[in-house]
Every structure is written in C-alpha cells, then in structure tokens.
Amino acid sequence: MNEENAAENESSQPKPLSATARRCLGVLVEKAKTTPDGYPLSLAGLITGCNQKSNRSPQMQVDESDALLALDELRAAGAAREIQGSGRVTKYRHAAYEWLGVDSPGAAIVTELMLRGPQTAGELRTRASRMHKFPDLDSLKTELDSLIEKGLVESLTPPGRGQTFAHCLYTPQERLYLVDKIKKQDASSAAPSQAESGSTSPAKAANDDRIDKIQDRLDSVTAKLEALEKRLEFLES
C-alpha cells in the first residue's frame, strides 16, 4: 500500500520544465502578484518580463519564438492558459497554484527560485516577501518544509548557516550541473575555513553575527530598491 501511495505521489508531482518555460511561468506568477493591473500578460509583456535586468538570474534574451515554444510547453503541462484579452489581443495567465498544488506563500517561494535560482532561507524571505509577506524566518522555513515534503523544493547543502535551497523543476542534466557547481563552491570556501578553524573564539562568533545582520540589512535595502525599479518600469510601460 505504501508503494502504491509513493507511486501516486510521484506521478502527481509536476514534471521538469525547460529553462525558458520556467522563466515564463515565474514571470506570469510574479506579475500577477506584483502588478495585477497589467495582468494577464500579452506576449510582448511576457518577453519584457523574461528579459528584465532586476530580479533575474541568470539574465536571458528570450525572443518571440522562444516565448511561444515555452508557452506551448506550459500549456501542454497544464501550468499556463491562453485567453482572449481586450481588443482581441491574446494574453496569457498562469495555472501555477493548481499545477504545483500550492497556495500563495508556496507559490511566492517557488517563483523566486525559478526567477533567481538557488538561494538561502534568508535571501528567500527578503526577496519572496514582495509577492507574499513572511513575518519572520521561521514562517519561511515552515513553508519550505512543506514544499520539500511535496517534492517541489530540495536542499542542495547540509543544514546550517548558508544552507541553499532550489526548486525541483530542473531537468536531470541541469540538476547534475547545479549540484556539481554547488559542491565546487563549497570545496573552495571550505579550504580557508579549515585553516582558520583553530582560531574560533567568542569574538569571531560575535563578528560573524554582525556580518549576518549587515547582510540582512543589505538584502532588505536591495529588495526595496528592486521594488522601486519595478514601480518605475510599470509607470514607464
């Protein structure tokens, strides 16, 4: 019976998407939350959102052909829909809540991971809060645990400071590359840490705590600047 339940859960989980399809889906969810007056999106609006400089990593240059192929992929998966907008302009909206089986906080986290790639819990709390407010880090971590149980998010590094999380919509090849990249980054940062391991002291611990607080403030300021950029982009459009 357990095997049957496991097989059913696995079959119900969303399948991997191409990088462009993930970017398009992330943009559709983001715009629905942050600029609802301009949603659903036209093809031109979707392309602009995919290629914008803020809140995106890596940067992409999606053209009309790329976007149409990605939308076909999303519609086939049941993650997006095509609708008739005003003036007979074709527009697009997401079906991420149903497709992923998440609510607003879960959608905000997965969307942020699709738009920016792997992040720590602190980074996610700061950045995803523009789509859904997380009052504290514990509330973010509770939602992360729920997403991990659903097979939508995974931890790429061990628990502890700097633990990194990623969505589970990567293709198998992309995931192997990503895991290898994270391992190399950990190995390069571990070498100097091991050399300094004998010098751990209360003063060093206090200094690390100050650095963490400064980073949190920087993340908060960055998020506010990005929100202002978004408002300017919306007003210019």
Confidence category of residue 187, pLDDT binned at 50, 70, 90:
confident
CB atoms within 10 A of CB 159: 6
Tokens of 135: 């009052």
**Is residue 139 within 8 Å of residue 124, measured between CB atoms?**
no
Q: Is the dihedral of CA 147, 149, 154, 157 positive or negative?
A: positive
Give the tens place of pLDDT for each residue, 47-106: 999 999 999 999 999 999 999 999 999 999 999 999 986 667 899 999 999 999 999 999
- Identify the pLDDT of residue 69: 98
Cα(187)–Cα(12) distance, rounded to whole angstroms?
Answer: 36
- Identify the pLDDT of residue 209: 54
The CATH class of 15-99 is mainly alpha
- Identify the pLDDT of residue 213: 56
Distances (CA, A) of 88 to 64, 68, 76, 96, 213: 19, 18, 23, 24, 51
Check residues 38 and 233 and name the one with the higher pLDDT: 38
Min mean pLDDT across 38-42, 64-68, 114-118, 206-210 is at 206-210
Name the residue type at position 141.
Answer: K
**Is residue 40 within 8 Å of residue 93, measured between CB atoms?**
yes
Burial class (CB in 10 A: 0-12, 13-18, 19+), 108: buried
Return the SS3 of 84: strand
Min mean pLDDT across 21-35, 64-78, 125-139, 213-227 is at 213-227
What mean pLDDT is predicted for residues 152-181?
93
* This prediction's pTM: 0.77
What mean pLDDT is predicted for residues 128-143?
96
Return the SS3 of 168: coil
pLDDT at 235 over 90: no
Of all residues in the chain, the percent with pLDDT exceeding 70 is: 75
